[in-house]
A and B are shown apart, each in its own frame.
Chain A
C-alpha cells in the first residue's frame, strides 16, 4: 500500500519554502512531485520598471547567498549593450569577490548538510568559518550579504590592501584544510550517511541539463569559468573537480575540493591584481537596441541572463534569469526514487537548492 507524505512548504529540513509530495511504500520513496513558486516575486517583470542603476540593486536581491553573481551576470550583459569593457583591475576584483562568495556558499551548504546528517558540531564549525569568509567580504565591500560591488563598466570598490586580504584568505584556507576537508572526506558519519545515497546517474544529469557541482558529481565536467571564461578567469590556473559516483558523497566531495580550488584562485588573483582604474568611470550610459546574454559559474552552477534594451531607453525591455537550481531541482525526483524516507532531507539538500533564485 502506498501513501503520500508531504515535506514542506515549511519544514525544519528546508531553508526556504518549497514542497515535496512523496509517494512512499513503507519507508521507501517511490516517486515525488515538486512544488515551487512560494518565493515568486515577479522580479523579471519588476526589472522592466527599473532604470539601469536600480535594476542592478534589484537583481542583487534575487538571492541572499549568491547576490554578487546576479549583479555580475547582469552587468556583463549590460556592458555588451552599452559598449563598455571593464578595466583589468576590475576584472580581477570581480573574480576575487565571486570566489569569496563561492567559499561562503559552499561552507554554508557544508554546515546545513552536516546538520541534516546529525553532525551538529560540524554544523557549528562550518558556520564559524563562514563568518570569517564574511569578514573578508566585509573588509572589501563594507557589506556581509549584498556587497554592491558590480556596476556597468567595472566595480564600485577597490581592494586597497591586497596583502592583508591575502593573509585573511590564507588563514581561512588553513582552517578549512584542517577541519571541513578532512572531516567531510574521511569521517565515518559523513561516509555512512552519504555514500550510495541519492544517486543521480550520468545519463540523467545530462538529460535533465544539470549544472554546477550537481552535474560534476555525476561525471559531467562543465564549468563556465573554464568552458566560456569571463572576467579574469582565462588568466588563472585552477582545476575543475569531477566525481563519477553521482551520490550525496560525490556532491560533498566536489564542493569540498572546490573550496580548495577557490582558495587557489583567490591567492593567484590577489597576487596578480593589476594596477589601474576599477571602472570606466562613466555615470551615464547609452544602450543599443538588442539582446545580450551572459553566463557565470555561480556556486550552484551556471547562471544565465538575457537582457534586452531599446535605444535611448533607461529601463530594460526584458530581463530573463535562468538560475542553476531551476535546472538542478527537477533532478531531485530521480535522486529520491528508491531512497529511504529518512534520507530525503539530506538528498534534496545535496543539490544546494536556492528557492529564491528558482522562483525569482
Chain B
C-alpha cells in the first residue's frame, strides 16, 4: 500500500478517498483537525492552504484543509456551525498566515492562538466578517 492508501485506516476513517475536482477528498467525520494535522505531519505531507466558504443563510462555514503528499493534493472538509475551530498553528508553522487571514476576513476563531493583523493594520478591529460588512 502507498502512503496515501494507509491514511484513512490510520485516522480511523472507514470511507475511502474520493477523487474529484483535482483533489483526493477524505471526509474526516468526527476527527479533530489537530489529530488530522498530527497524521499529516507523520506522513511528511506539505501543508498547502485552508479555503473558507461561508454557506448560505445560517448554515455556517465549510473549511477545506489541503496538504500535498508526493504531488497528490489531499483535501479534508470541516463543517462549522459555530464560528470556531481548533488552531493547528502549534503543530504546523505554515498555517500561521492563512489562519490569521481567515480570522480577519470571516471572523472565524482558531481556538488556542493569538492574532496579530496580517492584511489589516495595527489598530484595525480584528474579528469582523468583512464580507458581511461589504454586503451591508
Residues of A within 8 A of B (CB): 35-37, 40, 42, 45, 77, 80-81, 206-209, 222, 224, 226-228, 290-295, 302, 304, 306, 308, 318, 320, 322, 326-327, 330, 359
Q: Assess the A208–B94 pair: CB atoms within 8 A.
A: yes
Chain B residues with a Cβ closer than 8 Å to the other chain, count: 34
Question: CA of A293 to CA of B51 in the docked complex: distance in angstroms?
Answer: 11
Question: CA of A359 to CA of B48 in the docked complex: distance in angstroms?
Answer: 17
Q: Assess the A293–B23 pair: CB atoms within 8 A.
A: yes
Closest to A206 in B: B46
CB distance from B66 to the nearest CB of A (A): 7
Question: CA of A81 to CA of B21 in the docked complex: distance in angstroms?
Answer: 8
In the assembled complex, B83 has its CB within 8 A of some CB on chain A: no
Q: Assess the A304–B131 pair: CB atoms within 8 A.
A: no
- For A209, the chain B residues whose CB sits under 8 A away are 46-48, 92-94
Q: Assess the B48–A45 pair: CB atoms within 8 A.
A: no
- For A291, the chain B residues whose CB sits under 8 A away are 21, 64
Q: Assess the A304–B49 pair: CB atoms within 8 A.
A: yes
Cross-interface CB contact of B93 among A35, A208, A226, cutoff 8 Å: A208
Residues of B within 8 A of A (CB): 20-23, 44, 46-49, 51-53, 64, 66, 68, 70-73, 75, 92-94, 96-98, 117-121, 130-131, 134
Q: Assess the A322–B48 pair: CB atoms within 8 A.
A: yes
- For B21, the chain A residues whose CB sits under 8 A away are 77, 80-81, 290-293
- For B92, the chain A residues whose CB sits under 8 A away are 207, 209
CB distance from A243 to the nearest CB of B (A): 19
Q: Assess the B22–A37 pair: CB atoms within 8 A.
A: no
Q: Assess the A306–B64 pair: CB atoms within 8 A.
A: yes
Cross-interface CB contact of B66 among A35, A42, A208, A304, cutoff 8 Å: A304
Q: Assess the A222–B66 pair: CB atoms within 8 A.
A: no
Q: Assess the B117–A37 pair: CB atoms within 8 A.
A: yes
Question: CA of A347 to CA of B44 in the docked complex: distance in angstroms?
Answer: 28
Question: CA of A326 to CA of B119 in the docked complex: distance in angstroms?
Answer: 12
Q: Assess the A320–B51 pair: CB atoms within 8 A.
A: yes
CB distance from A62 to the nearest CB of B (A): 14
